[in-house]
Structure 1
Amino acid sequence: ILLNYSEFDNTYKHPNLKQRLDAAYEHNKVLELTLQTTWREDGNMIYDILDGQYDEFLRDYAQVIADFGHPVLFRLGNEMNGDWCPYSSYNTARDPLMYKEFYKYVYSFFEKAGAQNVIWIWNPNCDSFPNFNWNNEMMYYPGDKYVDVVGMTAYNTGTYYASVGETWKEFDELYEGLYYEYCAKFQQPLMITEFSSASMGGDKNQWVINMFNTIKDYDRIKAAVWWDGCDWDANGNVARSYFMDETPALLDIFKKYLKGSWDRDVYA
């Protein structure tokens, strides 16, 4: 699975969507395609989308995916309960109904295009920021008709920002409660759409080993995608190192345990 982000780049056409889809397929990848709005100084883009200003863009976007014909995992406006997202209700008059209308509006273009190859992922963040009732993730749920897979996102951010309360959290600490909560709330398959562990504050190698030894027990999680990147601080320094190949030893652990997904003797 190849995680790929796209944006409402203009009002008429995504510049290279077909190339992205084709390139992934040629390399035997299934694209986890994410579509987001962006920040603007002259208002919130989500209102313009609902006003029809991006209809041509959405018609083209949905038709390109429908014509592609192969399965596409599609996330629209992920982490919507986080105030860092322009489509969060924090940025739309504290009204999560705006997000649900946005989600259903975009969905309608895929319906009209006959894009039966799309697997719709609804994907809140593990915690809501701010943590108010009106910003709870369930306030953003568009309904079972519009969701094929429920996405989960929680990171071990480490202790680079310990001064603002960030702590080292093991995989179980992040996902066990979330998993059973979602099992109770949703009938759809679950997917960790993106996750990772930082380095500062604990043993990243052991974190990854613990993750592999635990995740196999969560049988409703059908896929998990490691975010191989980093977060930067205000001075351009790496704040949270999420790289898979950060050290040769860490890369060897991934090779061993990914092989173990097929060869269970590795877990013995």
Structure 2
Amino acid sequence: MRPGEVIHPKKAQCRLPASGWGLLNLKGGVVTAGKEWTDDGGAYEVHSLKRRAAKATRLQEHRTARQVAEFLRPLGFEVTENVGGTGVVGLLRNGDGPVVMLRSDLDALPVREDTGLAYASTVRATGADGQEVPVMHACGHDMHITCLLGAATLLAESAGTWSGTLLAVFQPAEELARGAQDMVDDGLFERFPVPDVVLGQHVAPLPAGTIAYGSGPIMAATDTANVVLHGRGGHGSRPESTIDPVLMAAHVITRLQGIIPAR
């Protein structure tokens, strides 16, 4: 998809500016969480898939992966499972043209869902420490799966309007920051066509019917660091001869947090 190119699934038409960030308002296809996905031409349904998306923590996405594979096969995709662990790759060849990779993540988080919704997760799974934990899609990965399967459906059913190769990649262990590397290490770009363009996605608190897009790094990631502060003990009657590591830690926290507004 190039800047300035028109995208038109059925009646929805959106034009991308030549560069930079932008917003697309979708007037044809509508995605509603927990309901059907249809456009006003009719029959594209990803039935309540968000409601039914299996919940599995990192590297345990076996049932989720199986559901994805079972969904893709009837659409004509060549499906390979267990790529980089529990990853799934769907390949749809449609003549000459570029290779486009669409990517979604699969895993859930060890968080209890208290939304009160009728389809709220009640699933429990074994965490990394061997303890049983509640599990939910707290980071939108169920919506990512649903959107990618919806896109795969639209593209498979409108194959006469485009040519090329579609690579639908469903990545495990995104929350561990290792699932993508696991798939690459398992030969993702040796076993399957190398993409000319890769399109990722993530839900965000935008107005309904709006897509924000950009190129390059557009979302934040997190990392961790261990910091050891060394104190010195002493008697309570002579605090001036001690070094209090708790006080030091408190000052470090406030000073580090101050970097954010300062920038």
Alignment TM-score > 0.5, same fold: no
> What is the TM-score when the length of structure 1 is the normalising length?
0.28
Which structure has the highest helix share of the two? 1
**Higher Cα Rg, which structure:** 2
TM-score, normalization by structure 2: 0.28
